[in-house]
Amino acid sequence: MAIRNATALWKGTLKEGKGKMNFSNYSGPFTFASRFEEGKGTNPEELVGAAHAGCYSMFLSALISGEGLKPQSIETTATVTLGKDATGPCITKINLDCNVNCKGLAKGKFKELAAAAKEKCPISRLYAGSTAKISLDAKLKNENQ
């Protein structure tokens, strides 16, 4: 299987410092403001969301394809909530909102596959048993019931 790398460099204190994240074809800044307020740049939770949305979409595509169907599109938005527990800041919730366009996919089978992808995609599995509760709202277009 593939091994991937990403790097982050942080300089300075938590509030006054700044950092830079790098992976593949991306390089961008992150700061206290971009993470905890509304500042320019990205943050770890946003990147977790992007990873989860991409992972879920690909896994659901594989499951649908395994049924002999070809999804036209799978668009997933992951909303990641950064909260706090007794130990400190933590991801408390990830909501996956998915819209699928796939001709020939019955509604019942879609619900089954969507739920399976939520449980089995590698990023969901990474968060199994963690502080994050993962929820799913999946919608099917062009459904044949």
pLDDT band of 45, cuts 50, 70, 90: very high
CATH of residue 125: 3.30.300.20
Question: What is the domain range of residue 67?
Answer: 44-141
53 and 96 inside one domain = yes
The total number of structural domains that make up the chain: 2
* pTM of the full structure: 0.88
In a domain, 81, yes or no: yes
Which residue carries 């320019």 as its tokens? Answer: 40
The predicted structure's pLDDT at residue 143: 52
- Residue 25, classed as helix, strand or coil, is coil
From CA 80, how far away is CA 51, in angstroms rounded? 11
Q: Strand order of the sheet with strand 18-23?
A: 7-11, 18-23, 26-31
The predicted structure's pLDDT at residue 56: 97
Alpha helices in 13-98 (DSSP H): 32-36, 44-65
Task: Determine the residue type at 142.
Answer: N
Q: What percent of the chain has pLDDT over 90?
A: 73
Whether 145 shows a pLDDT value over 70: the answer reads no
